[in-house]
Structures are given as C-alpha cells and as structure tokens.
Amino acid sequence: MTDITAPPEAEREAGSGGGDPPAPEPIWDIIELLFFAYRDFVGDPDHVLAALRFGRAHHRVLHFVNRNPGMKVADLLDILRITKQSLGRVLKQLIDEGYVVQQEGPQDRRQRLLFVTAKGEALAMRLARLQTARITRALEELGPTGHDSARRFLSAMIDPRERERVLRLIGRSDRLRQAAVRG
C-alpha cells in the first residue's frame, strides 16, 4: 500500500513578497481519484451491456426505472437531464427488447408510467450487483464508518440546490422498491 494516508496536501507555497492572494493549490488528488474511480465504477457494467448491444444511456434509464417503478417519463427526463429525443431512442430499444413496459396513468391517461419487466429487473439487478461488489470491497478497506463517510462526502459534492431533491429521491426509491417487492 502506497502512502495514501500521508496527505501531500499542497505545501502552501510560503506566500513570499505580497501581491495577489496566492490562490491555493488545487486539490489534485481528489480531482484525479474521482476521474479514475468513476471510470472503473461505470466500466464494470459497460462490458455486460456491450454484449447486449446496449450502452450507458440504456443503463441509466433501466436503473432509474427499476428504482422508481411507475415513474412518469417527465420525471425520468428531469433526473437524467437529457432531452426527450435522447431518452426516446434508448427507451424505445429497452421497450422493444422487453426490458421496460409502459402503462397508461390511471388518473391521467396521457402519462405513460414506466416499469421494468422481470427481464429488466434481472438485468438492472445484475448491473447493480457488479457495482455493489466494487463498493463493498472498497468500504471494507475503510472500517465501520466507511459507508457513512463515503455517503457524506458524495452528498456534499452535489450542488446544494439539488442535494435535498437527490436525497429525497434516493430515500423514496428505497421505499418504492420495498413496496413493489411486497405488493
């Protein structure tokens, strides 16, 4: 194990004469670790998806539909922050190949509520377990407070404006899926 624990920390170059405030050194380690960690994190599912002729865009859609059964198309667009045209293409493929189904909204019949099929859930869970394996391995290295630290760090990295919304989404999804399992 290299010296991960020894902070390089940016020996604040002793601000010599005067002039402008010396502009603190960027936090290079976190910036670069995020790049490499995220690449590996999304790389796991990529291989499985490639075999099915799917890409990351399909994964994102499948993931959030699996997590939020019965969600509206508009909500999905809002979460993913893409246009309906972009969503349309991948959603159509997921529907055509039997991973997702749409169902008329019971109150508002304009809505096409989204659900994963058994096949869709199986794939979503398979991909989630791949990513979970990596996360579990990582958290085990960090001791009992690891999960909490990671969660707090990542939450804090989200725009304050949307943080609430995201945390609410994550919590709500948990309850939704529980209900779907029991129902």
Residue ranges that bind DNA, judged by CB under 7 A: 53-58, 60, 72-74, 81-86, 88-92, 102, 105, 107-113
Alpha helices in the chain (DSSP H): 28-51, 56-67, 73-80, 84-96, 118-140, 146-157, 160-182
Check residue 170 for interaction with a copy of itself (CB under 8 A).
yes
Select 22 or 105, whichever has its Cβ closest to a copy of itself. 22
Query: What residue has token string 């790389």?
Result: 43
- Do β-strands 112-116 and 100-104 pair in parallel, antiparallel, or remain unpaired? antiparallel
CA distance 73 to 130: 27
> Do residues 115 and 70 touch, judged by C-beta distance below 8 A?
yes
Q: What is the smallest separation between the CB atom of 183 and DNA, expressed in angstroms?
A: 21
Select 38 or 86, whichever has its Cβ closest to a copy of itself. 38
74 makes contact, choosing from a copy of itself, DNA, none, with CB < 5 to 8 Å by partner type, with DNA
Which residues inside 96-155 make contact with a copy of itself, applying CB under 8 A? Answer: 125, 128-129, 131-132, 134-139, 141-142, 145-155
Find the helix or strand (DSSP H, E) in which 103 lies. strand 100-104
CA distance 179 to 102: 19
CA distance 165 to 79: 10
Check residue 67 for interaction with a copy of itself (CB under 8 A).
yes
Check residue 180 for interaction with a copy of itself (CB under 8 A).
no
Instruction: Please report, as ranges, the residues that interact with a copy of itself according to CB under 8 A.
Output: 2-5, 7-9, 13, 23-24, 26-41, 60, 63, 67, 81, 125, 128-129, 131-132, 134-139, 141-142, 145-159, 162, 164, 166-171, 173-174, 181
